[in-house]
Structure 1
Amino acid sequence: MLTAPTFSSVEGAYLALLELATGSAEHHIAARGNEAREVLGVGFRLPDPRQRLPYLVTRKANPVFQFAEALWYLAGRRDLEMIGYYAPSMRASSADGINLGGSAYGYTLFTPATGESVSPFDRVLELLRTENDSKRGYLPVFSPAELAIGDNPDMACLAGLHLFARGGRLHMVCNMRANDLDGGLLSDVFSFTMIHEYAAVQLGLELGSYTHLIGSAHVNDRNSERVKKVLAEAAVRRHPQHFPFPEMPTGTTSATIARVLKHEDLLRTNRARYSADDIAGLNLDAYWQQAVLLFEVYRQIQHDRAYTVSRDVLDALHPGLRWLVGHRWSACATTEQ
């Protein structure tokens, strides 16, 4: 018997949890002044973790930030310079205005600890290469030391990621201390399933199921009106949008991530501007070119203050990504929307 309900994409899980927390809340809490409705100990499973994007007009998911955050994690970074450009609100969570703490999950996973030469992530991969059916492939993120920091502005919501190699597939179980269902859930699932798929590629395994388990699943009262609109939209849709997400290339390595981030840096700092043809000519697989296309879209919006993003760049986007940016930014709207 499965311990968590199964959904074909993150969108179904997101809607089901919103419905649960708003319609059958177990508690009304006000932790640190944030009033919210809460349910305890819930989760879901995605048999195909690649279906990691929701297509809801009211929710307006941001694939630019989602790719940026996933790459920021995969590179083991914790700097605000990059991630704060895509999500300025994250600056408020930094104790020193330079780096993030507990929420810099990639830094914890991909950076060797002091005195170590191998990261926790690489150590777990080596374990899974050498020990069949291991149950020890756990990557802790939340640290008890975070509780000792007075008025900690940035405590990890992610407790840890658990990898299981079974029958030629790599499965992942994610354990969340807490999840803001309307705010953080979608970006968390996007990033963690990207880490999951990246690990499967490194191990030469097929991608298995992703299970997301949450201690405190909550919807903040300040977001209640948007949640109502999202659920109302879902209730009346006749034909939900569906755009299958492509597979991560088998040749993806840390060097691939570094090459993508080199172009991200050029675009973020406005030291380069790319046409679709420029991006097609980069030394990157078409899959990762999509991330660069998204960063060019955002460069035009942020730096050029474009009223209309270049049509060649929009046309080169995967249809699902084009649909999402078109519904989030008016400068990206096309006749297809």
Structure 2
Amino acid sequence: MPNLPPSSSALLTSPAFHTVEGAYTALLQLVSKEPERRIDARGNTGREVLGVSFRLPDPRQRLPYLAERKVNPVFQYAGALWHLAGRRDLEMIGYYAPSMRASSTDGVHLGGSAYGHTLFGLGGGSQSPFDRVIDLLLDESDSKRGYLPVFSTTELADRSNPDVACLAGLHLLPREGRLHMICNMRATNLDYGLLSNVFACTMIQEYAAIQLGLDLGGYTHIIGSAHVNDYNAARVHRVLSEAASRQPLRFPFPSMPEDTTAATIADLLTHEEALRTNELRYTVEHIQTRLGLAPYWQQMVMLFELQRQIQHDQVAAVDPALLHALDPGLRWLMARKWSACAAATAEDPQ
């Protein structure tokens, strides 16, 4: 007689976390303290665990609040917008993350890490893969076919390729009025890539749910090789020490507006470019009353204006009114990421 599990509990799905911070610190703890093996891939030594996963019942809880990690919400939003627009240019994303320039083979474009280009780009056709899957799911309830592949073995044709896609694909699953999504990653540097991957992918999930007229469902993240490189070990130790020393901070994260479309993304890109290139500067009043954007998207533009002040004006303290207009969680993150924001927070009488 075959060996059977003692109960269905032996086949439970991935562990669930209230926030991405909980999943992040749990995975850091697992891989740094209980690794399955040591690895040395292309000179990057580290510790690894194979085949890990977790769930976020509320994918909007996509930001961690850890002083030692100093997540940059400007980059998180810019990256999500870059992916939703189907772009792969360095001109935009390199402004927010200069280190990504090292992954470009031509100094102009990115390859596998520009997975939004694979998902939302036309690729010579008349419809993007994302739009084809949305059309499918609009017609087929409970469909299992809504899979969007990203990684391609053609990326391995050049062994020196510095930018092979870490994202294998996204699986969209509409069930009982909610859109669930499973994200399959071939590999993830937990300290460096996990947080930006989850932020962008859950934004794509929420955007897809709106296009389908569905509520946001759960998010499942699966990683083939979950690893921590040795050069990140010191920060990982500090992050875990901080997480163990206090209760997690919780800030509300609003819902994406139900009228969000591709035109919304295009409008946001116009404002992003004007601020990134320092052609315009915005006040709080201008953003809130003259751009015609929902409050949700106003927050993104405020972050881009703060980045403009830091990058172009090189101010000792950013506009405190602008910083105060941010949602509390974003304000907390900005004050810990940038000294100019911390100075403005200290000066703000409110």
Shift of 1:244: 1.3
Letter of the structure 2 residue corresponding to residue 15 of structure 1: T
Letter of the structure 1 residue corresponding to residue 76 of structure 2: Q
Cα distance in 1 for residues equivalent to 2:12 and 2:73: 30
Deviations 1:23-80 (A, max 9, x none): 1001111101011100000010000000000000110011000000000000000000
Shift of 1:112: 1.6
Q: What is the aligned-residue identity percentage?
A: 67
Shift of 1:292: 0.4
Deviations 1:214-245 (A, max 9, x none): 000000100100000000001111x3211010
Task: Give the structure 2 partner of residue 185 of structure 1.
Answer: 194
Cα distance in 2 for residues equivalent to 1:129 and 1:325: 39
Shift of 1:147: 1.0
Name which one, 1 or 2, has greater alpha-carbon Rg: 2
Task: Give the structure 2 partner of residue 324 of structure 1.
Answer: 333
Cα distance in 2 for residues equivalent to 1:136 and 1:248: 25
Cα distance in 2 for residues equivalent to 1:14 and 1:240: 12
Cα distance in 1 for residues equivalent to 2:243 and 2:151: 34
Letter of the structure 2 residue corresponding to residue 271 of structure 1: E
Task: Give the structure 1 partner of residue 5 of structure 2.
Answer: none
Shift of 1:150: 3.0
Q: How many residues align?
A: 335
Letter of the structure 1 residue corresponding to residue 92 of structure 2: M
Cα distance in 2 for residues equivalent to 1:229 and 1:23: 14
TM-score, normalised by the number of residues in structure 1: 0.98
Shift of 1:2: 3.2
Cα distance in 2 for residues equivalent to 1:144 and 1:225: 34
Letter of the structure 2 residue corresponding to residue 184 of structure 1: G
Q: Find out whether 1:258 has 2:266 as its counterpart.
A: yes
Shift of 1:22: 0.4
Task: Give the structure 2 partner of residue 174 of structure 1.
Answer: 183
Q: Find out whether 1:69 has 2:66 as its counterpart.
A: no
Cα distance in 2 for residues equivalent to 1:162 and 1:112: 19
Q: Find out whether 1:138 has 2:114 as its counterpart.
A: no
Task: Give the structure 1 partner of residue 43 of structure 2.
Answer: 33
Cα distance in 1 for residues equivalent to 2:303 and 2:123: 33
Task: Give the structure 2 partner of residue 14 of structure 1.
Answer: 24
- Picking from 150, 170, 179, the partner of 2:159 is 150
Taking the TM superposition and a 5 Å limit, the aligned residue runs for 1:224-263 are 224-237=233-246, 239-263=247-271
Shift of 1:149: 1.8
Stretch moving more, 207-216 or 104-113: 104-113
Letter of the structure 2 residue corresponding to residue 104 of structure 1: A
Letter of the structure 2 residue corresponding to residue 69 of structure 1: G
SS in 2 for 1:222: helix
Task: Give the structure 1 partner of residue 6 of structure 2.
Answer: none
Deviations 1:55-114 (A, max 9, x none): 001100110000000000000000000000000010010011000011110000001222
Task: Give the structure 2 partner of residue 89 of structure 1.
Answer: 99
> What's the Cα RMSD here?
1.1
